[in-house]
Amino acid sequence: MNRRDAIKITGLSALGILFSPRISARNLIPQVLRKADFGKDFLWGVATAAYQIEGAWNEDGKGVSIWDTFTHKKGKIKTKENGDTACDFYHRYPEDIASVKEMGFDVNRFSLSWSRIMPNGTGEINQKGVDFYHKVIDECIAKGLQPWITLYHWDLPQALEDKGGWTNREVIAWFSEYVEFCTRTFGDKVKNWMVLNEPAAFTALGYMLGMHAPGKRGFSHFGAAVHHAAMCQSEGGRIIRKNVKNANIGSTFSCSYVQPYKNTETHIKAADRMDAILNRLFLEPALGLGYPFDTVPLLNKMKKYIQDGDMEKLAFDFDFIGLQNYTRNITRFSPFIPGAWAIEVPAKKRKVPYTDMGWEVYPDGIYQLLKKFASYKGVKKIIVTENGAAFPDAVEASAVNDEKRIAFYKSYLEKILQAKQEGVPVHGYFVWTLMDNFEWAEGFRPRFGLVYVDFQTQKRIIKNSGLWFKSFLTEK
């Protein structure tokens, strides 16, 4: 038996390990999942974020970002780590891009560090930072990979945060200047663009709960940040359309399939509010539907940040919607969460399979979300721009046998294929993530990568999940 066959068998056997608490004939994955079933034009890619992999936090003229500041503060990161070096992608990008190609993917999705390009957020350009991204783009193209750029993946320049960051309406002008420069600089070589990465996540975690950079708390910060980010989302799209010929423009949304803990009125309404905050808050304004004020009355407090003409400017005709899903959210009513009056019931408490992040493994959730997104009139095309799982990994005999991750990907891909076969316009799937990296407030412990990284030596090992994708994507 060769290694490729062994990986296939290992992945199938892992189904019993991963899904044993709720295994059923209806949910069993077919023994043969073929790339051809998704169609010849279906895109296969990996996704990364600048702060999580680049390192070189203060090299070659880069400015300080809010994540540099946040991780350097005592008590902010569970493991007391930071992304100063991360995966050292800044120096090792040819090796890592080569791994993307070796595993058979078409697309390398990565983000630009705003503070590497504009150290102070506006004005002065750092040419060495610009040169770095030209080299990354050129390396992708040389390897036959499509470079897909995310303009903002959470690392706001600290100089702008010092002026209020996303809570300051001037961020619309700051962001517009940044997008203008990036699209004029890289637009001849890059045609696929994403404006924001998961705005619901970075506004809630960073400006209401204080769990992520910049660590602010309270609805007054959150409401302002939400509206200004939503304005930047659409304005960024308009700037790309203006500057990049034949551009393919999207934005990405973090989504969780929300269900009530019990089918009672209080729990159902709590789930509706949770769904509005997690899944509708940024998508519906972009589609011209406005904010979900009726479902979550607390959001009406945002109206003081909305100026004349803003509601019309929130809408933009995106070419695609980036759907990012990792788990399901079971919601119950809670009297202790003002405004939302809702709280998630953890997977561990419900005794269902979950990942190293505590997130439930629930493949049907991505199917339900694809169907839901496709039901919106303004959604023309969907790409799953992130999906993946963190599990404990160990190197044994120079290999990483991550059978649970293989089973995870197979189960989710089956559900994506089901949605596609039922007419959902899903046109691509990007794995989160290429390699183990700095997982924000969780530090280096959670490992999501197809490539194992020893953070002490920076040695890379393609995991069996990466070899599974290589087999899946390259077999004729």
| Alpha-carbon span 43 to 106, nearest angstrom | 6
CA-nearest of 305, 319, 151 to 231 is 305
Whether 430 and 109 have beta carbons less than 8 Å apart is answered as yes
For residue 473, how many other CB atoms are within 10 A of its CB? 13
Asked if omega into 433 is within 30° of 0 (cis), the reply is yes
How far CA 278 is from CA of 205, 256, 324, 354, in Å, comes to 12, 7, 11, 20
Is residue 161 annotated as part of the catalytic site, yes or no? no
Tokens 């790339």: give the residue.
35
Strand blocks (E) in 43-190 = 43-47, 107-111, 146-152
CA-nearest of 386, 409, 391 to 452 is 391
Residue 162 exposed, middle or buried by CB count within 10 Å (0-12, 13-18, 19+): middle
Q: Which residues pair with 194 in a beta bridge?
A: 150, 250
| Alpha-carbon span 113 to 118, nearest angstrom | 9
Query: CA-based Rg of the chain, rounded to a whole angstrom?
Result: 21
Q: At what angle do helices 171-186 and 219-243 cross, to 10 degrees?
A: 30
Count of residues in the chain: 476
How far CA 415 is from CA of 30, 180, 191, 410, 421, in Å, comes to 11, 38, 29, 9, 10
Out of 386, 403, 414, 439, pick the active-site residue. Answer: 386
Out of 139, 161, 198, 235, pick the active-site residue. Answer: 198
In the structure encoding, which two tokens stand for residue 343, read together?
A: 């709280």
DSSP secondary structure of 390-403 = ------BTTB---H
Is residue 386 annotated as part of the catalytic site, yes or no? yes
| Alpha-carbon span 429 to 386, nearest angstrom | 7
| Active site residues per annotation | 198, 386
